[in-house]
Amino acid sequence: MSIVNMHEAKTQLSRYVDQAAAGEEIVIARAGKPVARLVALAPDAAKPRPIGIGVGRFTMPDNFDAFGGEEIIEMFLGDQAGLRDAQ
């Protein structure tokens, strides 16, 4: 743990932020009395994050990808759709 005065903290802020990010605790003092503590933030990865923006807002049927399968293939392949079935 390092104790620095306010003026030094202001002029060397980048250095102290780097030290805090590396795990060191920096105490900032005013007139010799500690007033603030500079420490690294806990990583956000520890919090579970939902996948996707709409999680829980709607449901999808299990067979949603089967709806209109042949129609969609025909839309992409056009006249070639019949050739696919012939092979």
When pLDDT is cut at 50, 70 and 90, the band that residue 18 belongs to is very high
Q: What is the pLDDT of residue 81?
A: 59
Q: What is the pLDDT of residues 71-86, one digit of tens each?
A: 888 888 887 756 555 5
Which residues contact residue 16 at a Cβ distance below 8 angstroms, ignoring those fewer than 6 apart?
Answer: 2, 4, 9, 26, 38
CATH architecture for residues 2-38: 3-Layer(aba) Sandwich (3.40)
CA–CA separation, 78 vs 74, rounded Å? 5
10 Å CB burial of residue 59 (0-12, 13-18, 19+) is exposed
Q: What is the pLDDT of residue 85?
A: 56
CA–CA separation, 27 vs 33, rounded Å? 10
CA–CA separation, 71 vs 56, rounded Å? 29
Domain-wise residue ranges, the chain: 2-38
When pLDDT is cut at 50, 70 and 90, the band that residue 67 belongs to is confident
